[in-house]
Structure 1
Amino acid sequence: MKPEIEEHVIRFLGMLDTAFRRRGENGLPEPLRRAVRETPRHHFVHRFQADRAGPVEDFATERHLAAVYSDRVLAHFGPDDAALDSTNSQPSYVLWLLHRLGLEPGHRALEIGSGSGWLAAVMGRLVGDGSVVGVEILADLARRSRDDLAALGSANVAIIEGDGAGGQAAGAPYDRAMITAAVWDLPAALFEQVAEGGRLLLPIALAGGAGRDCHVAVLRREGDRFRALEAVPGRFVRFTGPGQEPGAERRRLEELPFWSGIGTTPTSRRPLSLGGRDPARFTGAAYAFRLFLGQTEPGFAAFDGSGEEEGLSVSPFGLVDATARSVAICRPGMLLGYGSPEATRRLDAAYRRWAALGMPGPAAFELEVVRAAQAPRPGRGLWVETRGASALVWRLASAASSPRVARQEAVRDRPPADPGAWIRPPGP
């Protein structure tokens, strides 16, 4: 490796090590360190934007190494400077998720949404004499990543151009699989293509539409279902294809068919204890409550209005009751009602149920992903979200039977971007 590149790679590995420690690990694991070092990121960067406000440029080694070897997302661009619906994800985050997946030498692995091919190449180093299959729907990216992998000598990695909704039967069954895009409905093929006991990393799009926000779960296949081993908040581009449209976008209030008839002035306004008016504290508490609303309330929606750049859970969210011509919206420190009071009453009732359960966050729930036809009936402490061919089954874990324990679980599972406390005690 050339000295000018070596300097940036060493600095990059130091960034990753620090990021892993912040996530509670003992630094960057040695197998992953070797794999990253042997997979130079700049080999997979071509036409990109070094800065969000800067120009789109072709990669030039001397000028762009600092940007490429940084812990940032890099967007892909086509020859016409149009942004592609794919990104080179934030390295520390996607590598930490890969670490949770537990790749080992000899594994057969599948990556749906392989993008530039960099992560697939890292996976190839980790599995050694195993194999990696990447599926990429964007033809130009698939061709480019195949060329880059060949130039790097990654003979155990194959990139298939096509729609990942069908998985890739030719290499099945897979010991490990991951989808690097937010999924609404789990592709049915994966119920068969992931090996018994194998793991699937699945970013699950949040109900109600919430930009790129998702619930990222590591699932283990157990017979005819997947059971979550752990889950964290995250952000990914949307998975495209049949069955992936519902809940894909935030709703615009002015596009609600009855909005012009109820006016734009709130009919009710009162404080809401979700971290007060501090957006940082609101972020953590709102994620937990928003997830609960998505599980329990069919009228749940996230609204456009705060801007994608403000990040996870900051955008307004609440309930829409079209029949009652009613909307309730949660903002930092405030619950706003529009039209009739029905949506506000329902949201208030949901908030009190959540508080009575101890304000559980994601860690307080056990999650299974099953075929829709095999989903159980909802019941006490059990909620079912049917999403096309699949269904999410949420069970309040037995540890959450105590409000104190549940609240501790919620705090433990806060989004990485939220350094503050999650929960303030509910008002009277």
Structure 2
Amino acid sequence: MDTKARIDHLIGLIRAEDGVSQAVADAIRAVPRHLFIPTVALATPSDGKPFVIDRDANPVGWWDAVYSPHPIVTQLDDGATDIRHGRGDYSSSASSPSTVADLLRLADIKPGHRVLEVGTGTGWTAALLSHLVGGHGEVTSIEVDAAVAEQAEKNLSGAGFQPRLLVGDGALGCADEAPYDRVHVTCGVRTVPYSWVEQTRPGGLIVTPYNPAFGDDHSLRLTVTPDGTAVGRIAGYAGYMLMRSQRFEQGRPARTPKEKHYPTTRVDPRTIGDVPAGATLAMATLTGLACHAGYDGEEYRTYLSDPGDPHSWAVATWRPGADEYEVFQVGERPLWEEVVDAYFRWVSWGSPHYSRYGITVRPEGQAIWLDRPDNVLNHQQA
């Protein structure tokens, strides 16, 4: 299969999964993804085990993966672990093409726009943005990792694109090139930095992955108003790595025996760990906690942690045939009870869909609301 056929096949897959605008499809045709994928990388299918791809050792496998729907991880552990190892924390990638296309659709990039991209990564999205804005537009892209930025510059130059590239913390934006018509973000955030709002012209859009670290990650589309506020709704799903400045420490061992607690619960841990996105948004918003869950053999475990206190965490375990379930909790905060209460509050609201949630961003912080901006569920200080 030649490159054109592979690109057409990929666009067909995106159309079948999430849809793609004609402008974005044209950009994908003009900016081949393979120009931005390293010789050795890690393909991460959503329904299977990650696997190393090597263009020299297995060129057919490499091409098949590059023009598949898979995200391609290009860095592990902030560069501390060789990608060939295949295991580690993902720290940079070429995101799923369907997710890239969906965020570009939400951003509604027009020729002539001035765009700030937060998270250069491989440079593929910066190239797509450059194509979309055309000869009279401008793209500024910020990458926190100097090594990633250096490779992105080589990729972009080789593909014939020259956006303005900066190394720094994307949470600060780039005031020198403001105001922007669009801020397009390729890393997850738990809190939207107000600097992005300040640097966007009234009527401009901010499109970002919103990752409350509880269940699914989401796409968020905000419109900036003349009074310096940004407001918008959750728009869909968007799985991205957290912005490095918003990462949090994982749970640590208990410091003393008194910090350990062993309650039991009649609420199935799968009820909390495997629920619709509307429920996870409610639990994340009302508690501020992080959660990840899944099967470990026959057992299912739901892990909870407090991003503000690495010594406060809990795990609830489901086992076949059990009527009550063990909870192991570290710290004084009753994490499990808080999350269960939040889940049943969501049920009492009528189990609202994720699309009914929205966020308003002001200088003092962000408010998360349900249905209307005045129906605030939680206000988070800046």
What is residue 311 of structure 1 aligned with on the other side? none
What is residue 7 of structure 1 aligned with on the other side? 5
Question: Out of 122, 133, 138, which is 1:131 matched to?
Answer: 138
Q: Which amino acid aligns with 1:283?
A: D
- 1:89, distance to aligned residue in structure 2 (A): 0.3
Is residue 41 of structure 1 aligned with residue 44 of structure 2? no
Is residue 251 of structure 1 aligned with residue 241 of structure 2? no
Question: Out of 50, 54, 58, which is 1:57 matched to?
Answer: 54
Per-residue CA shift, 1:329-356, capped at 9, x if unaligned?
Answer: 4869987555799666555543443222
Query: SS of the residue aligned with 1:189?
Result: helix
What is residue 22 of structure 2 aligned with on the other side? 30
Is residue 283 of structure 1 aligned with residue 274 of structure 2? yes
Per-residue CA shift, 1:63-82, capped at 9, x if unaligned?
Answer: 32212111101111469724
What is residue 224 of structure 1 aligned with on the other side? 228
Cα distance in 1, alignment partners of residues 106 and 352 from structure 2: 23
Question: Out of 274, 284, 287, which is 1:294 matched to?
Answer: 284
Q: 5 Å matches for 1:54-203? A: 54-55=51-52, 57=54, 62-63=59-60, 64-77=62-75, 81-82=82-83, 85-128=91-134, 129-155=136-162, 157-203=163-209
- 1:40, distance to aligned residue in structure 2 (A): 0.7
- 1:136, distance to aligned residue in structure 2 (A): 1.2
Cα distance in 1, alignment partners of residues 80 and 346 from structure 2: 50
Question: Out of 267, 270, 290, which is 2:266 matched to?
Answer: 270
Q: Which amino acid aligns with 1:81?
A: D
Q: Which amino acid aligns with 2:133?
A: V
Per-residue CA shift, 1:186-209, capped at 9, x if unaligned?
Answer: 333212111111111122331xx4
Q: Which amino acid aligns with 2:63?
A: L
Cα distance in 1, alignment partners of residues 241 and 317 from structure 2: 25
CA contact (8 A) 1:318 1:330 kept: no
Query: SS of the residue aligned with 1:238?
Result: coil
CA contact (8 A) 2:232 2:360 kept: yes
Going from structure 1 to structure 2, the CA distance change for 1:386 and 1:37 (only over 3 Å counts) comes to same
Q: Which amino acid aligns with 2:242?
A: R
Going from structure 1 to structure 2, the CA distance change for 1:301 and 1:44 (only over 3 Å counts) comes to closer
Percent identity, please: 24
CA contact (8 A) 1:50 1:67 kept: no
Unaligned runs of 5+ in 1: 21-26, 277-281, 308-313, 390-428
Unaligned runs of 5+ in 2: 45-49
User: Once superposed, what is the RMSD of the aligned Cα atoms?
Assistant: 3.9
What is residue 411 of structure 1 aligned with on the other side? none
Structure ranking higher in strand proportion: 2
- 1:231, distance to aligned residue in structure 2 (A): 2.6
Query: SS of the residue aligned with 2:205?
Result: strand
Is residue 237 of structure 1 aligned with residue 228 of structure 2? no
TM-score by length of 1: 0.69
Q: Which amino acid aligns with 1:57?
A: D
Would you say how many aligned residue pairs link Structure 1 and Structure 2?
351
Cα distance in 1, alignment partners of residues 210 and 15 from structure 2: 27
Return 9-18 or 226-235, whichever deviates more. 226-235
Query: SS of the residue aligned with 1:231?
Result: strand
Q: Which amino acid aligns with 1:316?
A: T
- 1:42, distance to aligned residue in structure 2 (A): 0.8
Q: Which amino acid aligns with 1:362?
A: Y
What is residue 384 of structure 1 aligned with on the other side? 378
Cα distance in 1, alignment partners of residues 334 and 51 from structure 2: 47
Cα distance in 1, alignment partners of residues 31 and 119 from structure 2: 18
Cα distance in 2, alignment partners of residues 185 and 193 from structure 1: 16
Going from structure 1 to structure 2, the CA distance change for 1:386 and 1:306 (only over 3 Å counts) comes to farther
Cα distance in 1, alignment partners of residues 249 and 30 from structure 2: 38
